Structure 1
Amino acid sequence: MRVVVASGNPVKVGAVKAAFELKFEGDALSFESVNVPSGVPDQPMGDSETSDGAVNRAQNARAAMPEADFWVGLEGGIDEVGGKAFTFAWMAIVSKDGQLETGRSLSLPLPDRVLELVKAGTELGYALDEVFATTNIKHQGGAFGLLSDNYITRQSVYTDTLVCTLLPFVNPAYKA
């Protein structure tokens, strides 16, 4: 089974690999990456923009590499709710027969200083690097790992979300 990840980010690729290996245990799996546009700003704001980015990435990966079984788009975003900022991600998986499934991760509250930088035009990963003196945190534990002392990480959150997003493809309860 050939899976195309619409990102070269090792955290995103690792999450896709882990989720597919869990849900397709024993299957011969191969994973490839392709960088494709999301069609949304580098730092998506709001649920809709972030979801659109994930779907666009999956569909653009399919257009770029049409000879696969699945295409996966992942997009992290920020939303403000009740005066607080939260980061989260949307996942989109498209199968070779055109079935599209999406899933949203849990949300993580962000410190006010990080939101100030994001509102000034800085992408979340760079804002975190600036505030916490890290380097390329988005290719590591991300905001989730940094703020939870690695209790949860960007990859673990993405893996769990992808497992749930894969359920309609693999669980017979969704076929009824």
Structure 2
Amino acid sequence: MENNQIIVASQNPVKLQAVKNGFLLMFPESQFAWMNVEAPSGVNKQPFSDQETYLGALNRVTFIKEKYPNASYWVAIEGGIQFDPDHQMSAFAWVVIHNGANFGKARSGCFYLPSRVASLVQSGLELGEADDLVFGQVNSKQNNGAVGLLTGDVINRTTLYEQAVIMALIPFKNPHLYF
């Protein structure tokens, strides 16, 4: 990997930083050029299932690949929520990476949301909006996010996504084992 152009399907600085961190950790000998762009997810503004969240990331990658066909990698991160069998709401993200020939995919760890936040999300707010109301923040989704607010920044939104980016890069780090 040398002088690779990476297109990230988001204007959110947290997502861009997570992608940068993941690529630089996995490929420290490589040089990258970064570009972040808006891309439609084709799903609800707040995805409500594992499948819908994954599809949102995949749709974003497909869109940016068509719009910027000469890049080396196209990356999307889609945050979502879902209910477990006990009807508790958890939050997580999907990362999809494409290099023109192969896909790398990974899901972040998940964490449970407080009932006050979950109720606001169920009423129609995005998770970031609900977090801002409950925690008295402004634009937390472009900062530490729900996970940072709940862990006292032991894990923040960037580090949560960074791990998923690293896991999605495994097939590209080990192509002889995957494809």
> Do they fold alike, i.e. is TM over 0.5?
yes
Matched, 1:38 2:46: no
In structure 1, the residue matched to 2:99 is 95
Percentage of matched positions with identical amino acids: 40
Alignment of structure 1 residues 31-70 onto 2, 5 Å: 31-70=34-73
Question: C-alpha displacement at 1:96, in angstroms?
Answer: 2.4
CA displacement 1:83-109 (0-9 Å, x = unmatched): 211000000001022x12211000010
2:80 to 74, 77, 82: 77
How far apart, in 1, do the equivalents of 2:143 and 2:108 lie?
Answer: 17
- Partner amino acid for 2:82? D
1:28 to 15, 26, 31: 31
How far apart, in 2, do the equivalents of 1:61 and 1:141 lie?
Answer: 26
- Partner amino acid for 2:43? V
Matched, 1:139 2:176: no
How far apart, in 2, do the equivalents of 1:175 and 1:45 lie?
Answer: 31
- Partner amino acid for 1:85? M
> Any gaps of 5 or more consecutive residues in structure 1?
none
- Partner amino acid for 1:158? Y
Matched, 1:86 2:97: no
Alignment of structure 1 residues 149-168 onto 2, 5 Å: 149-168=152-171
- Partner amino acid for 2:69? P
Matched, 1:116 2:125: no
* TM score, norm. by length of structure 2: 0.95
How far apart, in 2, do the equivalents of 1:23 and 1:136 lie?
Answer: 30
Runs of 4+ in structure 1 deviating by more than 3 angstroms, as ranges, are none
Question: C-alpha displacement at 1:173, in angstroms?
Answer: 5.7
- Partner amino acid for 1:132? F
Question: How many correspondences in the alignment?
Answer: 175
In structure 2, the residue matched to 1:107 is 110
How far apart, in 2, do the equivalents of 1:106 and 1:5 lie?
Answer: 21
Secondary structure in 2 matching 1:44? coil
- Partner amino acid for 1:87? A
In structure 1, the residue matched to 2:130 is 127
CA RMSD of aligned residues (A): 1.1
Q: Is the 2:105–2:167 Cα contact (8 Å) retained in structure 1?
A: no
How far apart, in 1, do the equivalents of 2:127 and 2:141 lie?
Answer: 8
Question: C-alpha displacement at 1:115, in angstroms?
Answer: 1.0
